[in-house]
Amino acid sequence: MISARSKPRLRITVAAAVLIAVVAACREAPVEPCPAARLAVDRVPLAASSSPFDPAFAAAGAEFHVPPAVLQGIGWVETRWQMVEGAEEFSGRPPAFGVMALRGVALERGAALAGVTVAAARRDPVANIRAAAALLDAYAAEAAIDRSRSEHWSVVVARYSGIELPEGRAAYGREVDRALALGGARTAPAGTRAPAPGACPPPPGSGGAPDYAPAVWRASPNFNQRPADSTGAMHIVIIHTCESNYTSCWSWLVNLASQASAHYVVNEDGSEASQLVLERDRAWHIAALYDCTLNRRHDCWLNGVQSNHFTVGVEHAGFASQDSFPASQMEASAALVCDVTRDRGIPRDWQHIVAHGQLQPADRTDPGPHWPWIAYVHRVQALCGEVVVDDSAAFNDPALAAAAAPGAWTASDSTPDYYGGGYRWAPTQPDATDGAAFSFRLSAAGSRTLDVRWTSGTNRSSRAAYATITAAGDTLAVARQDQTTGGGRWHTLGTWTFPAGWNRVVLLQRDVSGAVVVADALRVRE
């Protein structure tokens, strides 16, 4: 566990680099995949194991007695091995230059030590790397480290990073040790230790988060207790975008000064997630009081309740304005949200997995118009072993789910607590032949439990008939349900073994006149 009180600067970027390097390294090795590679299913390595600047790293390292792996690691952490030129002024610090992101007086000192001009140290890659190496050489000399011991370099690189606080440096140093081990594995510089062949070092601060083991636990001080009454029961997952990168996002949210937090943060490519606040505690991620008119009139009893009370907040590295979200990030997020909803009994639909901007439209838009809401919730459902068939095609995955309601069935959304965007209803008739059919496709035969939903009212049928029919045309059962009550919840029809193909449940319209049957949704779960 990393202390929330530390002040990370390069720590997590190192962490990300290490993680990526671990993944990349292990993809090259004909051995078991790393345990780190467990969040996203379609992750791709972001970095090659060698950089275009390797010759310069090697030469400068030899010249200034600095392990090239150290230079490589810093270069990756700072700039992803790209030449930057007075790039973004994000931190109020002097602008960074070159592969090594040298800044201000450090750049000037490094240039002087390397015997190059400041201008060259800014814009020429070799001069930039030499200046950085010379600076590290000086730091190493001043710290009187044993240069042959890779772990001793952490104190030098920590100084290079500019972290002020001792505890921040210490935490950073631990990550640097791992980076050095990996760097050693790649380049095997003389005097540095390589890890054991085939070893997969654990990712930094790896796993073991209290409520979601694949996540990294980075405790935030910014939380308090949920109310003990019903308003404190976890009920909704709120999807956010950080409006920043992953590092900036979580490191700010663990800073007491932010007075903000989220339960989780998912990184850009889904290769890492952080848990910052226990799910049972109240994280600070949404200002708004709940207003059910913003959420299809769902759970209006919560109107006026502060939304942090009953929500789980999931931040995502990125921006509400971005055109798309990486598939691997969506996959990791969906896996996380599946876990949260399963553990907390939160329904997996669009009224319980909602946008920050939806509940706080006055001043928020995140995660923005391009969050893939339909596919995302479908993926959360699938990872939790369920498929839902809605009465509306707009909410169905056409490869797995289809609904057919004949013309006698009227679309409506006037009674709240429906699944998807509404429901269909029809008056019962003794001679009706058409029912509302909810079909689901199985790729292989198997056992499934079926649940149905309706919206309740006094005019509903107390004996709505659901026929379960297999792909082979066999009617397995006709189950009756009382739709006058129990609206907005799943009600189990039964568990059966189904063949592969399109099986279905048909809500029958045929019955004695005088009531209404409501076709909202069918849930199929393993």
Partner 1 sequence: MPWRAPYLCLALLVLGACQRDAPRQRVRISSSGASAGAPLLVPPGSQDTGFVGTTSAVHRPRPGLPPRILRAVDARASPGYDRITFEFTGDSLPGYHVQYTSGPVRRCGSGDPVAAAGAGRLLVRLEPAQAHDERGNATLAERDRTLGLPAVKELKLVCDLEGQVEWVLGVATSGPYRVSELSGPARLVLDVRHGQ
Binding site for partner 1 (CB under 8 A): 5, 7-10, 88-94, 103-106, 159, 162, 164-165, 167, 221-222, 224, 240-245, 247-248, 250-261, 284-289, 306-308, 319, 321, 356, 363-364, 366
CB closer to partner 1 out of 219 and 519: 219
Instruction: Yes or no: say if 39 and 272 are a contact pair by the CB < 8 Å rule.
Output: yes
CB closer to partner 1 out of 160 and 454: 160
Cα 323–Cα 327–Cα 331 angle in degrees, nearest 5: 130
DSSP for residue 512? S
Least distance between partner 1 and beta carbon 80 (Å): 14
Instruction: Yes or no: say if 512 and 430 are a contact pair by the CB < 8 Å rule.
Output: yes
Least distance between partner 1 and beta carbon 478 (Å): 49
Interatomic CA distance for residues 411 and 464, integer angstroms? 18
CB closer to partner 1 out of 66 and 254: 254
Least distance between partner 1 and beta carbon 171 (Å): 12
Least distance between partner 1 and beta carbon 521 (Å): 32
Interatomic CA distance for residues 310 and 365, integer angstroms? 20
Least distance between partner 1 and beta carbon 225 (Å): 12
Interatomic CA distance for residues 66 and 70, integer angstroms? 7
Least distance between partner 1 and beta carbon 243 (Å): 3
- The helix (run of H) or strand (run of E) holding residue 424 is strand 423-427
3-state secondary structure of 213: coil
CB closer to partner 1 out of 70 and 283: 283
DSSP for residue 351? T
Interatomic CA distance for residues 213 and 166, integer angstroms? 29
* 273-275 vs 216-217, strand pairing mode: parallel
Least distance between partner 1 and beta carbon 447 (Å): 44
- Give Cα separations from 202 to 12, 29, 115, 393 (angstroms): 14, 16, 40, 45
Least distance between partner 1 and beta carbon 161 (Å): 9
Least distance between partner 1 and beta carbon 385 (Å): 33
CB closer to partner 1 out of 7 and 174: 7
The closest alpha carbon to 314, from 261, 392, 359, 235, belongs to 261
CB closer to partner 1 out of 239 and 401: 239
Q: Is 75 exposed, middle or buried (0-12, 13-18, 19+ CB in 10 A)?
A: buried
The string of DSSP codes covering 297-331 is: TTTGGGTTSBGGGGEEEEEESB-TT-S---HHHHH
3-state secondary structure of 74: helix
CB closer to partner 1 out of 159 and 235: 159
CB closer to partner 1 out of 189 and 368: 368
Least distance between partner 1 and beta carbon 345 (Å): 24
CB closer to partner 1 out of 142 and 526: 142
CB closer to partner 1 out of 284 and 425: 284
Interatomic CA distance for residues 271 and 269, integer angstroms? 5
The closest alpha carbon to 482, from 453, 457, 511, 462, belongs to 462
